[in-house]
Amino acid sequence: MKTEWKVFAPVGAFFFIVTAIYGYFTRLSEPIGMVGLALSGLFCVMIAVYLAITSRKIDRPEDHPDGEIAEGAGEQGFFPASSIWPFWMALTVLVIALGPVFGWWISLIGMGMGIWALTGWVYEYYRGDYRH
């Protein structure tokens, strides 16, 4: 019953405790490890807060103790069809990452590809079979 946030909150607390222990044993000589652990805790707490706020706004049948299975019938949401655009975005990131290795001009080509791929991904539901 609205327990999603209860999964992430203890994990965030765990990371904060581990951050303190790590800082004590390294005597603050390793700041990057502390930053990584603290950010992991903050990210878990951020997800927990988001889920807690969202669960208050959404009334789901599984949140009621006397809820029936039939109450959850019907459309569950919008699920997009398969798309080629995530592949092009991944290829774009690869080309941009190869720029510093082989020449900065390759990153410029990758940025051009990125504009094209991102535009295609954003506007894929405005044309063709899946037009809204």
Does the pTM of the predicted model rise above 0.85? no
Segment 3-45, tens digit of pLDDT: 889 999 999 999 999 999 999 999 888 899 999 999 999 999 9
How many helices (H) and strands (E) the chain has is answered by 4, 0
What is the per-residue DSSP string for 4-20?
HHHHHHHHHHHHHHHHH
